[in-house]
């Protein structure tokens, strides 16, 4: 009886194992269990008031929702870029700096006293346009000139932060307006961090776009077989280009969150290494970095898993300059378990196990 | 082991998740024998070959080789090679960016150093002996597919093999090249090599083979000496049922009876793929075809019609009205559908499901903002899976895990779903089994009888003769003739292709 | 003459490469011009005859009425507000009105800086002013400078080389900065010090100096505890996450000792989110360094408690050294320590903000 049961269970597990979203879920569970074992207070969430007297939730989980949302938003665009072009955009950190710089430039100008000179929405829309233009620039290099995405985006990766500094004449404008802080903090009366809502909005828009347009089908078809897609009437160049423009839009949203958090910008460190987190989120979501099929929800979950890891490491006082090493370990692990050779071994092992059980 | 047997496979079993690929299969090969391994797609031929060459590990059974007392263990392609089992696969498995000589010697040297000059000289000698028109220091990708195939055979031949496996080696060769290959096979046979020959071409089986082993649904049907198994019986064994002889399909040829207007006309059409400008027209309900040797430009012509290559000159008319077709989507909007020659590169979208592959073209025509609902997509998929008898576990199965013939049917379904007025089929029957071939031919005639215009291209002349009412003959990237009605005979076609009646 | 322009142009184009964004519009023009000229530079190099004028200058550099030529090698002004202020200060001092002809080279990389120094030596500047990216690797190039009779003055950063190789070194004493801050903190007379210590990039001089003093004090006193000690690498976002993590864990703390203003700002953002009061007379003492203007304004508003100065205004000291050398006077000491203050929120004035804010 028990034998039967476990065999059935192993069948269910095998099924889950084949699903793409299994990887981020497993990682999340693993991290959760680890924290539960070491210190259950990790999961404590308390309701307090912030310095403006409005109720806010605090706790590690809220921190994860808060900071993970930035990567989650980028992961949406990065997933599309990866799927369509089979490569990654490494310039997102630098273009976040540009987007942030545009927002501040329009909001307070140069040499201002920090009061708003334009509505926030205008600044944000301008940032959207600018980062989509930079996305389009990357897209042209990749789609038309057929440059490897990582090489093409290396240009902005290198120059982006200088461009960001140039936009504000190398000054560090500070926004004194309270409303501007809402985007990276809390909206009065709502105890959940705003970045999470922004992420939810982005995810909903994306899911609607995937449902009501053929974005998903076209992107995947182009990523899997561009030549065949062309003969089916698609325009692979345009679709690859489009994915970079969409990523540009995601970048603008993150630029808003990032600048809002501190009401200012530091060109050389803002959103530093965030591109690596975004790429890692895509990989953690089980998406092939060589393009093709994708699962956006898995990438988004992957983004929160990365923040879960980061927050856990901060909690254990792991030096922040050592964080990349831990993330690298995760990448290695991912690459190894998704390698065909290992997959085959695992499934063979599973089979053997099943056989032994049957014998028993 | 039997006397003069070089290979015995006994009681081979192999399953994949959800599929029993081989069940208690025996296979014997003697010295100096050419042994055909026959069966429909999915019968287990490829699996058996892969078990023998160490690509797959068998679940059960023994393999005996001459000169070994005990069953041999073949755990990797390297093992197989060391035991003297060489393979030439249907798809080229060489490295296109290496030279011909490097491809022939790669992975074989026991020593770390390579004597490049000697290697090139040796390679040239072998190529010359086999009459292969390639140079040792030429980059492989510069050679035609046919020559690449022959290089792969040369590589296998040179490895002093006892067992040579040829897995669909002729599917991309033209007739003279096939003859050359057969000459080579007979040579090897005389030298005592056992050859396993996997092919879909029945003629070829009867031309060179001594014995036939037939598989069906992963099980052994039987082993026959060639004289004992006439063609019709072989097909019957493969299909598991008696088949009306292939010749009969023309009898059930219904003809379109409506007004025969030109559906599509082209004048001076030329693309950047290197063909001379050509004129072309097709009537409603007509089936015509482009014929010619490999590389004669027959595919390039239909690609130009579909704007798959960049069109650089010419006028095209659709139903008598001049239209502009500069990209595939224009052609699709004008009711033209094109099933490309290279199924793997231009046809399937490998990782996508059968369903997505079926709806793709229709979906693109419908527009970016109007996706089919899930229910619609499923309905289309189910409809065509049933209509064309596509063998797939479900509509969700990735197309790449289907057999070649079934992949082709999916692509065909994709274009039928767009309800084209004019359907172009470029080598729709290459590399697929005889049953499916006949199904496709019948389908083409049926569609034409319903008023669809079809252009059909095939390397097998008899197939074209059976389906087409008019043939456009190509030579050296130029249209050199047009044949219809009484002229449609094998010898006349050959003559025109060869240019015998030109002077 | 041509050769000299070439070198200047090269130097500026090095700056342009590392910069691309500039702090004033006039400079943008200069950069553009430099980039243009750099293209021609290659051709000019071949025909580079040393003009008589240049030789004369080299032999009699101090002749009154002539400009003193200085080659200034600095770090990328984009790096931080401190560096921007430092660069602006240099630019304001070494002008033609003040009797100088200055060429600038910027890089965060030691090897690029050394290349720039060699160019300046070839160009026979009178003085080489250097803020080195790295402490080592300078011996041979400084020897070359000395052989060419060029006076080297280090500013902002010291290097591992014999003192004989340079005229003077004008530096901040980071240890002293740390001590001043820690002493101020001790004077606050808290019963217990539970400190969140946010460090700069590990191994940098500023981090070592500012960490050293605090570490020593914590080791010495029983009622001084480090709640956490983490590097945020001068990055405000990381600082915010570090403090957030401490808040999430529920550990008590009453001091934030951040090794620069950016990180202090990040820390305060985390405090604000969690409604933890900070500043004068509040729950948490906030300390920063570098005296950014906006930081001093926070002090003025009593949201922060302390800001330690790291003086970027070194040009006047350098000017003084050069004047002395030109007049043939002896320098009292090789190493000149900058005056550096620590500002207390209770005593800071608007004038301080204007004068010392960077």
Q: Which of B371, B372, B373, B396 is the best mutation test for A, with the most CBs of A within 10 A?
A: B371
Kindly list the residues from chain C whose CB atom is less than 8 angstroms away from the CB atom of residue A186: 273
Provide mean pLDDT across the span A200-211. Answer: 95
Lowest mean pLDDT among B81-90, B229-238, B469-478: B229-238
Element (H, E) at C122: helix C110-122
- Cα B247 to chain centroid distance, Å, stands at 21
pLDDT tier for residue C20 given thresholds of 50, 70 and 90: very low
Q: Specify the range with the lowest mean pLDDT, choosing from B182-191, B235-244, C158-167.
A: B235-244
pLDDT tens figures, A209-219: 999 999 999 99
Closest CA to C237 of B55, A268, B324: A268
Q: Say what the pLDDT of residue C35 is.
A: 43
ipTM of the complex: 0.84
Q: What is the pLDDT of residue C52?
A: 40
What is the rounded CA–CA span in Å between residue A56 and residue A188?
Answer: 9
Could you report the per-residue pLDDT of C228-244, keeping only the tens digit for each? 999 988 888 899 999 99
Q: Which chain A residues touch B328 with a CB distance below 8 Å?
A: 230-233
Q: What confidence score (pLDDT) does residue B238 get?
A: 76
- Grade residue C58 by pLDDT with cuts at 50, 70 and 90: very low
Taking CB atoms and an 8 Å limit, are A234 and B364 in contact across chains? Answer: yes
Q: Are strands C285-289 and C224-231 parallel, antiparallel or unpaired?
A: unpaired
How far from each other are the two terminal CA atoms of chain B, in whole angstroms? Answer: 60
Q: How many domains does chain A have?
A: 1
Chains A and C touch (3+ CB pairs under 8 A): yes
User: Which CATH superfamily groups domain C174-310+343-356?
Assistant: Response regulator (3.40.50.2300)
From B281, B283, B285, select the one nearest B266 (Cα to Cα). Answer: B281
- Of residues A161 and B156, more confidence is placed in A161
- The pLDDT value recorded for residue A351 is 66
CATH of B5-243, one of 3.90.950.20, 3.40.50.300, 3.40.50.720, 3.40.50.150: 3.40.50.300
pLDDT at C48: 40
Chosen from A35, A38, A51 to mutate, greatest number of chain C CBs within 10 A: A51
| Average pLDDT of the residues in A85-100 | 95
What's the whole-number mean pLDDT along residues C93-107?
91
Q: Interface partners of B (3+ CB pairs, < 8 Å)?
A: A
Banded model confidence at residue C39, pLDDT cuts 50, 70, 90: very low
Which residues touch B383 (CB under 8 Å, ≥6 apart)? none
**CA pair distance B440, B461, nearest whole angstrom:** 15
Does B110 score more than 70 pLDDT?
no
Q: What was the pLDDT predicted at B363?
A: 94
User: Are the Cβ atoms of A214 and B363 closer than 8 angstroms?
Assistant: yes
Structural domain of A40: 2-359
pLDDT at B187: 81
CA dihedral over B76, B77, B82, B85, signed as positive or negative: positive
In this structure, what token pair is assigned to residue C224? Answer: 């001084």
Judge whether residue B263 has pLDDT over 60.
yes
Report whether pLDDT(A88) > 90. Answer: yes
pLDDT digits (tens, 9 = 90+) for C312-350: 888 999 999 999 998 888 888 888 888 888 999 999 999
CB nearest to C274's CB, from A41, A50, A262? A50
- Cα C91 → chain centroid: 14
Please report the pLDDT score of residue B225 as a whole number. Answer: 92
The first and second tokens of residue B156, run together, are 């296998």
Answer yes or no: are the C-beta atoms of C303 and C142 closer than 8 Å: no
Report the percent of chain C where pLDDT is more than 90: 44
Q: What is the mean pLDDT of chain B?
A: 84
Q: Collect all residues of chain A within an 8 Å Cβ-Cβ radius of residue C300.
A: none
**What is the spatial distance between Cα A5 and Cα A12, in angstroms, rounded to a whole number?**
11
The confidence score (pLDDT) of residue A275 equals: 93
Top-confidence residue, B74 or B501 = B74
B439 near B447, Cβ under 8 Å? no
- Confidence label for A328 from pLDDT (cuts 50, 70 and 90): confident
pLDDT mean over A218-228: 94
Q: How far is CA A346 from the centre of its chain?
A: 29
- pLDDT at position C65 is 63
pLDDT band at B274 (very low <50, low <70, confident <90, very high): confident
Residue whose pair of structure tokens reads 């969690």 in the numeric block: C274
- What is the per-residue pLDDT across A16-51, written as a single tens digit (0 to 9) for each? 555 678 888 888 998 899 999 988 888 888 887 776
Structure tokens at A77: 């665009």
Q: pLDDT-based confidence at C204, cuts 50/70/90?
A: confident
State the pLDDT confidence band at A360, using cuts at 50, 70 and 90. low
For residue A317, pLDDT over 90 is answered with no
Tell me if A58 and C273 make a contact (CB, 8 A cut-off): yes
Q: Are A223 and A143 in contact (CB under 8 A)?
A: no
Mean pLDDT for B400-404 is 84
Q: What CATH architecture applies to the domain C2-172+313-327?
A: 3-Layer(aba) Sandwich (3.40)
Q: Least CB-CB distance to C274: which of A48, A167, A262?
A: A48
Q: Average per-residue pLDDT in chain C?
A: 81
The chain-wide mean pLDDT, for chain A, equals 87
Domain positions in chain B are 5-243
For residue range C113-150, list pLDDT tens digits in order: 999 999 999 998 999 999 988 888 888 999 999 999 99
Q: Is pLDDT above 60 for B218?
A: yes
Nearest by CB to residue A221, choosing from B328, B349, B367, is B349
Q: Are C155 and C318 in contact (CB under 8 A)?
A: yes
Note the helical H segments in chain A: 2-18, 22-38, 60-85, 92-108, 120-139, 149-167, 194-212, 215-224, 226-231, 236-262, 274-284, 296-315, 323-338, 340-359
The counts of H helices and E strands in chain C are: 13, 12
Subunit contact A218:B369, Cβ cutoff 8 A: no
Token pair belonging to B151: 């290089």
Please check the confidence at residue A174 and state whether its pLDDT lies above 60.
yes
Confidence of residue A340 (pLDDT cuts 50, 70, 90): low
d(CA A43, CA B279): 75
What are the Cα distances from residue A222, in Å, to A163, B486, C154? 32, 46, 58
**CA–CA gap between residue B340 and residue A225 (Å, rounded):** 14
Residues 248-307 of C with CB under 8 A from A: 248-250, 262, 265-266, 269, 271-277, 292, 294
Cβ(C4)–Cβ(C123) below 8 Å: yes
Contact between chains at A269 and C20 (C-beta distance less than 8 A): no
Element (H, E) at C353: helix C350-356
- For A:31-50, CB contacts with C below 8 A are 41, 44, 48-50
Measure the CA–CA gap between A308 and A304, rounded to whole angstroms: 6
Q: How many helices (H) and strands (E) does chain B have?
A: 16, 19
**Closest Cβ–Cβ partner in B340, B363, B368 for A231:** B340
Residue at token pair 């002229």: B487
- Chain A residues closer than 8 Å to C290 by CB: none
Size of interface A-C (CB pairs under 8 A): 127
Q: What is the mean pLDDT of residues B438-462?
A: 87
Q: How far is CA C27 from CA A167, C15, C104, C108, C263, in A?
A: 14, 11, 12, 19, 30
Considering only CB atoms, which residues of chain B are within 8 Å of chain A? 306, 308, 327-329, 332, 338, 340, 345-352, 356, 360-361, 363-365, 367-369, 371, 414
pLDDT tens figures, B12-61: 998 877 677 888 999 999 988 999 998 876 788 888 998 998 888 888 89
B398 in Cβ contact with B353 (< 8 Å): yes
Q: What is the pLDDT of residue C21?
A: 36
């Amino acid at each position: 009886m028990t034998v039967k049961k476990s065999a059935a269970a192993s069948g269910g597990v095998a099924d889950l194992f084949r699903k793409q979203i299994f990887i981020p879920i497993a990682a999340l569970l693993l991290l959760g269990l680890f924290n539960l074992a070491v210190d259950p207070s990790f999961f404590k969430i308390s309701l307090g008031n912030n310095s403006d007297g409005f109720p806010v939730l605090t706790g590690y989980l809220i921190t994860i929702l808060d900071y993970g949302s930035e990567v989650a938003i980028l992961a949406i665009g990065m997933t599309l870029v990866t799927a369509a072009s089979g490569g990654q955009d490494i310039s997102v950190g630098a273009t976040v700096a540009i987007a942030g710089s545009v927002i501040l430039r329009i909001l307070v100008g140069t040499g201002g006293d920090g009061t708003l000179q334009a509505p926030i929405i205008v600044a944000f829309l301008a940032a959207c346009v600018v980062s989509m233009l930079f996305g389009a620039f990357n897209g042209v290099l990749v789609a038309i000139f057929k440059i490897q995405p990582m090489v093409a985006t290396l240009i902005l990766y290198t120059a982006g932060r200088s461009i960001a500094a140039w936009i504000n004449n190398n000054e560090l404008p500070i926004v004194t307006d309270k409303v501007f802080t809402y985007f990276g903090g809390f909206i009065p009366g709502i105890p959940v961090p705003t970045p999470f809502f922004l992420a939810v909005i982005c995810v909903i828009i994306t899911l609607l776009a995937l449902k009501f347009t053929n974005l998903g089908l076209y992107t995947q078809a182009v990523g899997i077989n561009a030549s065949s897609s062309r003969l089916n009437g698609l325009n692979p160049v345009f679709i690859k280009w489009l994915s970079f423009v969409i990523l540009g839009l995601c970048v603008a949203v993150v630029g808003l969150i990032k600048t809002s958090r501190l009401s200012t910008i530091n060109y050389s460190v803002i959103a530093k290494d965030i591109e690596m987190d975004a790429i890692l989120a895509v990989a953690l979501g089980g998406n092939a970095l060589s393009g093709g099929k994708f699962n956006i929800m898995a990438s988004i979950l992957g983004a929160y898993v990365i923040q879960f890891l980061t927050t856990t490491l901060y909690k254990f006082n792991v030096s922040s300059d050592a964080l990349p090493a831990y993330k690298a370990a995760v990448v290695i692990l991912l690459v190894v378990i998704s390698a065909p050779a290992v997959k085959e071994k695992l499934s063979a092992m599973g089979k053997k196990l099943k056989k032994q059980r049957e014998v028993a | 082991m039997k006397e003069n047997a070089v290979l015995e496979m006994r009681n081979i079993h192999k399953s994949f998740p959800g599929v029993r690929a081989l069940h208690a299969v025996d296979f014997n090969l003697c010295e100096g024998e050419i042994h055909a391994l026959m069966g429909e797609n999915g019968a287990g031929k490829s699996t058996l070959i892969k078990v023998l060459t160490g690509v797959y590990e068998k679940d059960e059974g023994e393999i005996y080789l001459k000169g070994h007392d005990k069953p041999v263990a073949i755990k990797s392609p390297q093992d197989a090679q060391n035991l003297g089992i060489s393979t030439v696969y249907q798809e080229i498995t060489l490295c296109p960016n290496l030279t011909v000589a490097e491809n022939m010697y790669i992975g074989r040297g026991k020593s770390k150093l390579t004597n490049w000059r000697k290697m090139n000289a040796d390679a040239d000698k072998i190529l010359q002996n086999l009459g292969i028109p390639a140079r040792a220091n030429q980059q492989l990708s510069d050679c035609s597919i046919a020559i690449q195939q022959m290089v792969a055979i040369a590589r296998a031949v040179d490895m002093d093999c006892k067992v040579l496996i040829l897995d669909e080696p002729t599917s991309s060769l033209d007739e003279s090249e096939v003859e050359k290959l057969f000459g080579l096979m007979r040579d090897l046979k005389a030298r005592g090599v056992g050859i396993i020959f996997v092919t879909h071409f029945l003629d070829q089986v009867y031309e060179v083979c001594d014995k036939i082993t037939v598989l069906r649904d992963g099980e052994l049907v039987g082993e026959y000496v060639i004289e004992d198994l006439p063609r019709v019986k072989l097909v019957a064994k493969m299909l598991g049922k008696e088949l009306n002889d292939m010749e009969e399909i023309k009898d059930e040829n219904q003809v379109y009876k409506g007004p025969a207007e030109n559906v599509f006309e082209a004048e001076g059409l030329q693309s950047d793929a290197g063909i001379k400008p050509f004129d072309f027209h097709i009537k409603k309900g007509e089936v015509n075809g482009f014929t010619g040797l490999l590389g004669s430009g027959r595919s390039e012509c239909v690609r130009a019609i579909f704007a798959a290559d960049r069109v650089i000159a010419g006028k095209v008319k659709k139903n008598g009205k001049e239209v502009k077709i500069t990209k595939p989507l224009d052609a699709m909007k004008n009711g033209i559908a094109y099933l490309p020659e290279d199924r793997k590169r231009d046809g399937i979208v490998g990782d996508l499901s059968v369903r997505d592959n079926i709806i793709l073209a229709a979906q693109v025509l419908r527009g970016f903002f109007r996706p089919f609902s899930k229910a619609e997509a499923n309905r289309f998929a189910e409809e065509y899976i049933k209509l064309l008898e596509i063998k797939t576990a479900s509509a969700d199965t990735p197309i790449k895990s289907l057999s070649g013939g079934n992949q082709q049917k999916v692509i065909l379904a994709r274009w039928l779903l767009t309800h084209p007025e004019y359907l172009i089929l470029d080598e729709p029957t290459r590399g697929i089994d005889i049953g499916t071939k006949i199904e496709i031919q019948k389908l083409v005639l049926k569609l034409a009888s319903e008023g669809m215009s079809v252009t059909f291209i095939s390397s097998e002349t008899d197939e074209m003769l059976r389906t087409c009412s008019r043939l456009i003959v190509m030579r050296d990237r130029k249209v050199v003739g047009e044949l219809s009605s009484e002229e449609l005979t094998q010898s006349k076609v050959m003559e025109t292709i060869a240019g015998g009646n030109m002077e | 003459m041509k050769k000299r322009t070439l070198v200047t142009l090269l130097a500026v184009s090095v700056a342009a490469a590392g910069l691309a964004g500039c702090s004033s519009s006039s400079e943008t023009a200069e950069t553009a011009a430099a980039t243009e000229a750099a293209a021609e530079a290659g051709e000019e190099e071949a025909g580079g005859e040393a003009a008589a004028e240049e030789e004369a200058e080299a032999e009699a550099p101090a002749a009154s009425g002539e400009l003193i030529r200085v080659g200034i090698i600095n770090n990328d002004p984009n790096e931080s507000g401190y560096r921007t202020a430092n660069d602006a200060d240099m630019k304001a001092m070494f002008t033609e009105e003040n009797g100088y002809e200055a060429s600038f080279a910027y890089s965060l990389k030691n090897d690029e800086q050394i290349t720039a120094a060699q160019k300046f030596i070839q160009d026979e500047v009178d003085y080489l002013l250097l803020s080195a990216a790295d402490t080592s690797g300078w011996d041979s190039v400084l020897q070359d400078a000395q052989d060419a009779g060029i006076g080297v003055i280090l500013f902002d950063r010291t290097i591992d080389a014999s003192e004989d190789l340079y005229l003077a070194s004008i530096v901040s004493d980071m240890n002293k900065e740390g001590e001043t801050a820690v002493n101020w903190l001790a004077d606050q007379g808290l019963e217990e010090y539970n400190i969140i210590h946010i460090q700069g990039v590990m191994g940098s001089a500023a981090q070592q100096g500012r960490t050293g003093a605090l570490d020593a004090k914590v080791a010495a006193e029983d009622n001084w505890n480090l709640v956490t000690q983490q590097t945020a690498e001068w990055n405000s976002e990381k600082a915010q996450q570090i403090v957030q993590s401490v808040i999430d864990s529920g550990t008590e703390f009453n001091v934030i000792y951040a090794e620069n203003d950016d990180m202090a700002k990040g820390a305060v953002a985390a405090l604000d989110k969690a409604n933890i009061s900070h500043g004068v007379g509040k729950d948490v003492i906030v300390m920063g360094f570098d005296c950014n203007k906006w930081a001093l304004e926070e002090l003025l508003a009593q949201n922060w408690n302390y800001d330690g100065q790291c003086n970027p205004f070194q040009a006047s000291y350098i000017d003084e050294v050069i004047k002395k050398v030109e007049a043939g006077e002896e320098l009292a000491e090789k190493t000149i320590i900058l005056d550096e203050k620590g500002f207390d929120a209770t005593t800071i004035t608007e004038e301080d903000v204007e004068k010392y804010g960077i």
